[in-house]
């Protein structure tokens, strides 16, 4: 990470996936995404746009089995990227919240970059797939992200029927909440403990 910049470059190579991901928190919402999973490409492009993050992802994985490893490992890398780019989190708002309408769907998201990991995912989806994307993998993605970012993340579907709208709403609301939480609002660490890293 460059001094005084909130950027990161993460590389992860396992027997299941090979991923390179770069993040600029203070970007312009520009995305260059190639995950091998078309629906996830779309969701990450939305995440970058609505968060104002510059995000590049290049990934290959064992999608001949299914998309699980690729989706989860990209969530890991994105969480690592936020943790690295935020550093000691000095000056950030820490908390973010967004309530996002997506046609018939309404998604609520709250995030705290507190250094302690937790995911509450209350967003049931009736369909098993959207295209070739297994809908249960949305939860796996955000679980991996929260664990590695050191974030307390709550995602709630207040209502909604269309599976595409539900997942799209989750990615957009999460991006907007993260954008708010990452905003610089002071020159202090927003904690009476003096640290936001656990």
Domains of the chain: 7-182 (3.30.230.40)
Q: Name residue, tokens 């959207």.
A: 130
Dump pLDDT digits (tens) for 141-198.
Answer: 999 999 999 999 999 999 999 999 999 999 999 999 999 999 999 888 877 677 777 7
Parallel, antiparallel or unpaired: strands 118-122 and 152-159: parallel
Structure tokens at 187: 């020159």
Please state, in angstroms and rounded to a whole number, the distance separating the CA atoms of residues 57 and 78: 9
The answer to whether the CB of 108 falls within 8 A of the CB of 99 is: yes
Q: Could you give the C-alpha distances from 194 to 33, 186, 189, 197, in angstroms and in order?
A: 36, 14, 6, 9
pTM value? 0.95
């Amino acid at each position: 990470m460059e001094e005084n910049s909130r950027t990161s470059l993460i590389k992860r190579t396992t027997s299941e996936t090979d991923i390179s991901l770069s993040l600029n928190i203070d970007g312009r919402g520009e995305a260059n995404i190639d995950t091998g999973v078309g629906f996830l490409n779309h969701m990450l492009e939305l995440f970058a746009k609505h968060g104002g993050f510059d995000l590049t992802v290049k990934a290959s994985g064992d999608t001949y089995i299914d998309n699980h490893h690729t989706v989860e490992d990209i969530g890991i890398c994105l969480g690592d990227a936020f943790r690295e780019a935020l550093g000691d989190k000095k000056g950030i708002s820490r908390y973010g919240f967004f309530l996002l309408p997506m046609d018939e769907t309404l998604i609520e998201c709250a995030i705290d970059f507190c250094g302690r990991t937790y995911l509450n995912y209350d967003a049931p989806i009736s369909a098993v797939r959207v295209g070739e994307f297994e809908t249960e993998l949305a939860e796996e993605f955000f679980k991996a992200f929260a664990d590695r970012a050191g974030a307390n993340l709550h995602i709630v579907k207040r209502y909604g029927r269309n599976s595409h709208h539900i997942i799209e709403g989750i990615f957009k609301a999460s991006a907007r909440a993260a954008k708010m939480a990452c905003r610089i609002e002071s020159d202090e660490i927003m904690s009476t403990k003096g640290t936001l890293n656990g």
